[in-house]
Amino acid sequence: ISSCVLLTTLLLIHPRMKFLMKLPYYYYQARDTNLTITITYVYIFICSTFQIDFWNPETITQVKPEMRVDFRVEADKSSDVESLLEQSGVEYEILIDNLKTVLDAQFDSNVRATGHNYEKYNNWETIAAWTADIAAQNANLVSRTEIGTTFQGRPIYLLKVGKSGSNKKAIFMDCGFHAREWISPAFCQWFVKEAVSTYGSDTLMTRLLNNLDFYILPVLNIDGYVYTWTNYRMWRKTRSTNSGSSCIGTDPNRNFNAGWCSAGASKRPCDDTYCGSAPESEKETKALADFIRKNLSTIKAYLTIHSYSQMLLFPYSYTYSVPENYAELVKLASLYGTKYTFGSGASTIYLAAGGSDDWAYDQGIKYSFTFELRDTGRYGFALPESQIKPTCEETLKAVKYIYNANYILS
Ligand code: ARG
Ligand code: ZN
């Protein structure tokens, strides 16, 4: 039973809709032009009649007025869904009419070489080997540790990047919370590459690595990531079992002790935003939280990399209240460019409790950000490899800018 069936309270919202569909799946973009009530009814009806995979936001419970909604349905349901939309006066657009084709087209990198490559999506085995290699080849700057193991027993690697020194402050950045957001691990790898290859030549990078230690966690939800390569490309959660349910997995970004499961998260194990049986119920989130708690005295900033929608979010997401240094965060988020939307999570997108950004902030890490990388919905999670480089380059600029802020360095 998906959460949409229970949603009677949404009858008065006014969403702007965008639909993702068809295996082959269809991907739609839609806009309401009619009465709110009809639209929402249509929405709930579609949601409860057909299997829907929400892409953005992740569940119907996170839909709020004026929000665009992306989702995917199976190909054989698409004509029914379309006629429903049409009858209800919902304007829509199909963005992907055959998701399989687009998923195949993800691998459009013109790099032909096999093995690890920064402009390709690397599978876990390749990334794991890369973490060892990059540390071995740059012993003066990079070291690798293990902060725990995943539900299925895979080691969770953490890279420490920086010139050794005493009393250094640190920055923590993780990637790969959500399995299907492939551009995220690609960015963590890119960042490490840039660090080791521009240290000594790029003034800012040199300054950063001399003054700070960067903890880079390339993939947190490794089990989920592996599953997206081997079984189901659109998997989001961890792969842990749930007692009393045959559904698998917990949303790692609803599993932290920050207003845990109070809003924008589901208590049902079958849902994509399932908050888990308790805060830090997942071995992966527990390992991350333990590491940060242990290193709280040095960690000054926390960055967590997701996709998609091109946004830079900061606390809070579990409440509409804004953090005490809101103005400072707005400044940090606003100076680096215009391509991204930014603001507090709750007011910019939706209430979603249990996120690592809010948790880190409440631990005292005052510079806490969630990046939502490319794109804004053309490809969504199926972002082609040819966009890895531009995405990482623009994100690197932003990240360096934030890291360079006086607040953090001084
Ligand atoms: N799309 C992200 C998610 O749903 C947004 C995270 C924003 N932060 C938060 N604490 N909800 O996980
Ligand atoms: Zn995510």
Could you give the CA distance from residue 106 to residue 104 in angstroms, rounded to a whole number?
5
Mean pLDDT, rounded, for 222-233:
96
| pLDDT more than 90, % of the chain | 65
* Phi, psi (rounded to 5 degrees) for 225: -60, -45
Mean pLDDT, rounded, for 51-69:
74
Query: What pLDDT, on a 0 to 100 scale, did the predictor assign at position 336?
Result: 63
Mean pLDDT of all residues belonging to the chain: 86
Pairing of strands 53-56, 68-73: antiparallel
Residue listed under structure tokens 């993939």: 219
Q: 207 C-alpha to center of ligand 2: Å? A: 30
Q: Determine which residue's CA is closest to atom 10 belonging to ligand 1.
A: 355
Q: 352 C-alpha to center of ligand 1: Å? A: 6
Please report which ligand is nearest the Cα atom of 356: 1
> Which has more pLDDT, 100 or 322?
322
Mean pLDDT, rounded, for 225-254:
96
Q: ipTM beyond 0.90?
A: yes
Query: Which ligand 1 atom lies nearest to the CA of residue 264?
Result: 11
Please report which ligand is nearest the Cα atom of 260: 1
Q: Which two three-digit tokens encode residue 213? A: 């230690």
Is residue 282 annotated as a catalytic residue, yes or no?
no
pLDDT of 60 > 90? The answer is no
Q: Determine which residue's CA is closest to atom 3 belonging to ligand 1.
A: 253
Pocket test for ligand 1, best of 220, 313, 314, 342 (most atoms within 8 A of CB): 313
Query: What pLDDT, on a 0 to 100 scale, did the predictor assign at position 43?
Result: 60
Q: Average the pLDDT over each of 24-33, 108-117, 156-165, 334-343 and give the range with the smallest value.
A: 24-33
Query: What pLDDT, on a 0 to 100 scale, did the predictor assign at position 352?
Result: 95
pTM of the model: 0.89
Within 13 Å, how many C-alpha atoms sit on residue 53's CB side? 21
Pocket test for ligand 1, best of 317, 319, 348 (most atoms within 8 A of CB): 317
pLDDT of 223 > 80? The answer is yes
Report DSSP letters for 154-212, one per residue.
-EEEEEEES---SS-EEEEEEE-SSTT-THHHHHHHHHHHHHHHHTTTSHHHHHHHHHE
Query: What pLDDT, on a 0 to 100 scale, did the predictor assign at position 76?
Result: 81
Q: 3 C-alpha to center of ligand 2: Å? A: 19
Query: Which ligand 1 atom lies nearest to the CA of residue 62?
Result: 4
Mean pLDDT, rounded, for 292-303:
97
Q: 177 C-alpha to center of ligand 2: Å? A: 6
What own/partner pairs with CB < 8 Å and gap ≥ 24 does 228-231 have?
A: 228/179, 228/180, 228/182, 229/123, 229/124
Q: Determine which residue's CA is closest to atom 9 belonging to ligand 1.
A: 355
pLDDT digits (tens, 9 = 90+) for 18-39: 444 333 345 554 444 433 334 4
Q: 370 C-alpha to center of ligand 2: Å? A: 9
- Active-site position among 74, 194, 282, 372: 372
Please report which ligand is nearest the Cα atom of 347: 1
Residue of 110, 109, 129, 113 whose CA lies nearest to 121: 109
Query: What pLDDT, on a 0 to 100 scale, did the predictor assign at position 390?
Result: 94
Mean pLDDT, rounded, for 120-144:
98
Query: What pLDDT, on a 0 to 100 scale, did the predictor assign at position 387?
Result: 95
Residue listed under structure tokens 């003066």: 140
Query: What pLDDT, on a 0 to 100 scale, did the predictor assign at position 169?
Result: 95
Pocket test for ligand 1, best of 271, 349, 350, 371 (most atoms within 8 A of CB): 349
Given CA atoms 133, 137, 139, 140 in this order, what sign does their dihedral have?
negative
Mean pLDDT, rounded, for 199-223:
97
Q: 210 C-alpha to center of ligand 1: Å? A: 32
Query: What pLDDT, on a 0 to 100 scale, did the predictor assign at position 42?
Result: 55
Ligand 1 neighbours (beta carbon < 6 A): 58, 253, 306, 313, 317, 345, 352, 355, 357-358, 370
Q: Determine which residue's CA is closest to atom 12 belonging to ligand 1.
A: 253
